[in-house]
Structure 1
């Protein structure tokens, strides 16, 4: 597992360090490290007077750029450089670490033995604290799978999370403070927002293209992956190469998403298009016992067999960096909740019109849709969860409707998106694939949020931000798509084929052992899903994912640490 972090300690006290770090850099009263077998993280360090700074992650920030920022006004946080990264600053008063607004690189920390240790992996820190999975956090996940819960809690006891768009500040005396640094960008006219969004995506792809000798990308035929592939193809020149990968059922060699993907790849001389046929062995719920341990349940858990099969092919083909469209839906697709934002800006007629449209799409009456809006992203507590789990979840603060209408709305909307995508990145890394999601770059997120609320789509307009900004890039057939390919049928087939194994997994499993699930209710829901009945997959499958994840975490040792006297600390 690849991760990075650092420690801030009092002068003259012992310190801690992960076993066998790849890189160590000494700081005043502390250290920085990277850990893992590859060189996936770019590290830039600079010193200006009494200030020291570092940028760690996927980026192309130069020493001069970092030095220029350190020399100026740092109160508004780091600049929106392209890429996904963490920025750290050391001054005479202590250390400050900035978390990005989308949590594409989540930050966690623990206070241990007089030191404050922070890292890009909560599971890594659990090896230092010696603690296990937090049942209350898991309960919050099952009640609200979208992730708008526990803003300062990680999945592990004794490990705290820096909320997205916030900083961790450690001052003399090891005083810890969390504060917000990120501010949502102002709205701009449509033409300007489109150009800024285009530029941000181009630069995000360019940063990855420059790092990869052999770049690869998903090409599902949807708007997000197609955009990234075609932007990458424009930048690919010899001797670098680009391979686009499209998964499809082995029983079908045409139709649906496959046709859109072929159209996007047609006559692209700089891109090799490779198909990955999937058989019954790659159905959802296959291979759950092979899912690796991550910081939290990865969205790809249920479809893990498909991902593992594809990653094996991608790794064997020599990919050094793989682009995914993860985050594009969450960032660009609109939902009924947008009507609250419209109403909050005084656009009541537009809000009512859109609400009626969303109700028709959901095949519900407008009145039946209204209660969903006022849940502020929280799912109704299901009987599949025990009263104990529901009580623990309710004790974790979650956003209120007023928050969704106010200045924090953008931050709440992004919460959880990048963090879960980071778990997918860890999943892929376990299989030798470096996975990156440019749609979660801070610069791309801010560009997307610069569109006025009324320009971000409606029940009748699908991702207009992308189709307008990329009108000369996307093939007409792809740009005119109004829906995504559905996977419900595959999930019904997979749940039916693997129902006995899933049942065995849950009986006397981690969730049941902690008193979080009602096995009788859950069994009825699993049987209904296997029979082909309408299934709320977004609420049911996180239960199975959480069980698989908790078992994987407990079956695999966490990263090991060492305690070292101050005089033995290495100079990097």
Structure 2
């Protein structure tokens, strides 16, 4: 557990048990003093800030001046500092080491994953309200976890412990930056995005060696390759190749690798790598990454082996570059400029970007205007019992302020939240140093301030990002519209394991709890797949929740439950 964390904020009487678990897991002591006992793996970078805060992870200056406190910088960190007679823990906005916490023996017990809690707290209980939410609100990540009594400190939040009760406060909100709209076009905005992204990538890469970029050949990971090259980083890349043509991105990845002058490793994915009903190798407080993506995990391990590499990738590009695909940027422009020439130009761009006629785009815009802004997270109700599922999502700190903004910008922030749910989930990233340069705070804040309609200017999605790196990438990559897919690989795995998926779902814990529409599940699994029918992905998402529930219950812990307070 090279990058694990265990901490206890509380009374000295309970600290010995925490220290014993830390010793068993070979976690080193970083601080043991009144009210705080902090342990971490030997690959967790740490420092003491001038204000006395103990910072774990990476911090970079926001202004160029030295960082005196965690609030002076950005990066991926947790910071433990004094607060009155207690302590505070700050988590960096957007990224940052995960931190799960709970009440325990009159204090607050914290860990970056479940394993350090074994031996301290027993018998985790499934939060069935969470499980029901997970079935209908995909990628909705709040402080609630799937284990009763265990919460997560969200990015950009602070956990305060005053010696008696823990509470959380918000330190950073995306809406502050959405409100700073930059009224300029692509040509004016692209150079600043280029500068910020290369600068952020230089910060991440300067102290790292053995950088491995996951290079799909798509726009986003290619931009990261160009940013790494622009930052002067020494790196190699790996491209994952499917047996089907839909996932073979080698020509694009090879073009980028040649352009940047780097080595490219090609790792083949096979359907035999996908076991859609296997229990997750690591059990977390929430379901892990989708089983359908496990083939990438296996291919990565074959390519990288036991080498300790820093993994960079293009994760988050679609999200922060506002890859929307709807007519909402037009409604946003009409709201800003009125129904005049400027709004009509945006409507034309939206139509061109979606391959639609102006008439079709106008009709869709009218329908969207009539419906009004969507309130809350998207619900997915296929294969679940309507009477058993929640009608509203769990609350999130960023819900506050959303209604003041147009739906296009709400979608932008929602997309960003969705990708933040994914950044610590893939198995291949577990206990590795993983960097997502596109989610760097200076980059995200800038992207949030770009008007929604500018991202589709000229009828091209992610227009500002394309223009920013047009001179640094091959034209066939920077201007491409398509993306690689793994549907053919997933379809073969689904058809091969359909009977096992049926048993998993119909005889599982979710069905026993009355959450699934058993008839709908059975009917779908019994019929042949038609061309273009990918509804089975929805079944696989449900199967992931079922596998996680079984894995948590199979841990076999016994004793006091997570929500029981022991004093």
Relative to the length of structure 2, the TM-score reads 0.80
Alignment check: 8 A CA contact 2:60 2:73 kept = no
Q: Which residue of 2 aligns with 1:324?
A: 313
Alignment check: 8 A CA contact 1:162 1:178 kept = no
**Within 5 A, what are the aligned runs for 1:416-431?**
416-424=418-426, 427-430=427-430
Alignment check: 8 A CA contact 1:428 1:434 kept = no
RMSD of aligned Cα (Å): 3.9
Q: Which residue of 1 aligns with 2:4?
A: 3
1:19 to 10, 19, 22: 22
Asked whether 1:202 is paired with 2:198, we answer yes
Cα deviations by residue, 1:345-379 (Å, 9 ceiling, x for unpaired): 45553676677678866999626667887444633
Alignment check: 8 A CA contact 1:80 1:442 kept = no
Shift of 1:217: 1.0
Shift of 1:260: 1.0
Whole-angstrom distance in 1 between the partners of 2:556 and 2:464? 44
Distance 1:231 1:45, change over 3 A: same
Q: Which residue of 1 aligns with 2:148?
A: 157
Larger deviation, residues 104-113 vs 183-192: 183-192
Asked whether 1:315 is paired with 2:290, we answer no
Asked whether 1:509 is paired with 2:535, we answer no
Whole-angstrom distance in 2 between the partners of 1:533 and 1:495? 14
Alignment check: 8 A CA contact 2:92 2:155 kept = yes
Alignment check: 8 A CA contact 1:243 1:272 kept = yes
Distance 1:122 1:79, change over 3 A: farther
Distance 1:511 1:519, change over 3 A: same
Secondary structure in 1 matching 2:227: helix
Secondary structure in 2 matching 1:136: helix
Asked whether 1:415 is paired with 2:420, we answer no
Alignment check: 8 A CA contact 1:106 1:162 kept = yes
Distance 1:244 1:516, change over 3 A: same
Whole-angstrom distance in 2 between the partners of 1:373 and 1:540? 30
Whole-angstrom distance in 2 between the partners of 1:361 and 1:145? 29
Distance 1:546 1:529, change over 3 A: farther
Q: Which residue of 1 aligns with 2:181?
A: 187
Whole-angstrom distance in 1 between the partners of 2:502 and 2:551? 17
Q: Which residue of 2 aligns with 1:403?
A: 402
1:219 to 215, 219, 228: 215
Whole-angstrom distance in 2 between the partners of 1:529 and 1:55? 55
Q: Which residue of 2 aligns with 1:294?
A: 284
Cα deviations by residue, 1:540-569 (Å, 9 ceiling, x for unpaired): 4321221223333344478x99xxxxxxxx
Shift of 1:22: 1.9
Distance 1:463 1:251, change over 3 A: closer
Shift of 1:4: 2.2
1:45 to 42, 45, 48: 48
Q: Which residue of 2 aligns with 1:166?
A: 157
Distance 1:357 1:539, change over 3 A: farther
Alignment check: 8 A CA contact 2:202 2:231 kept = yes
Q: Which residue of 1 aligns with 2:392?
A: 394
Shift of 1:142: 1.6
Q: Which residue of 2 aligns with 1:455?
A: 454
Q: Which residue of 1 aligns with 2:238?
A: 245
Distance 1:543 1:490, change over 3 A: same
Alignment check: 8 A CA contact 2:353 2:461 kept = no
Relative to the length of structure 1, the TM-score reads 0.80
Whole-angstrom distance in 1 between the partners of 2:330 and 2:404? 10
Shift of 1:114: 1.1
Asked whether 1:113 is paired with 2:102, we answer no
Aligned length: 533
Q: Which residue of 2 aligns with 1:56?
A: 56
Distance 1:401 1:497, change over 3 A: farther
**Within 5 A, what are the aligned runs for 1:7-156?**
7-10=8-11, 13-15=13-15, 17=18, 18-20=21-23, 21-26=26-31, 29-31=34-36, 33-36=38-41, 39=43, 41-48=44-51, 52-59=52-59, 68-70=67-69, 78-81=71-74, 83-102=75-94, 105-121=97-113, 128=121, 130-147=123-140, 151-156=142-147
Larger deviation, residues 355-364 vs 86-95: 355-364
Distance 1:221 1:383, change over 3 A: closer
Whole-angstrom distance in 2 between the partners of 1:272 and 1:154? 40
Shift of 1:531: 4.5
Distance 1:34 1:9, change over 3 A: closer
Alignment check: 8 A CA contact 1:105 1:419 kept = no
Whole-angstrom distance in 1 between the partners of 2:384 and 2:45? 43
Q: Which residue of 2 aligns with 1:472?
A: 471
Alignment check: 8 A CA contact 1:376 1:400 kept = no
Secondary structure in 1 matching 2:519: helix
Distance 1:487 1:69, change over 3 A: same
Whole-angstrom distance in 1 between the partners of 2:264 and 2:497? 32
Shift of 1:304: 0.7
Whole-angstrom distance in 2 between the partners of 1:484 and 1:117? 43
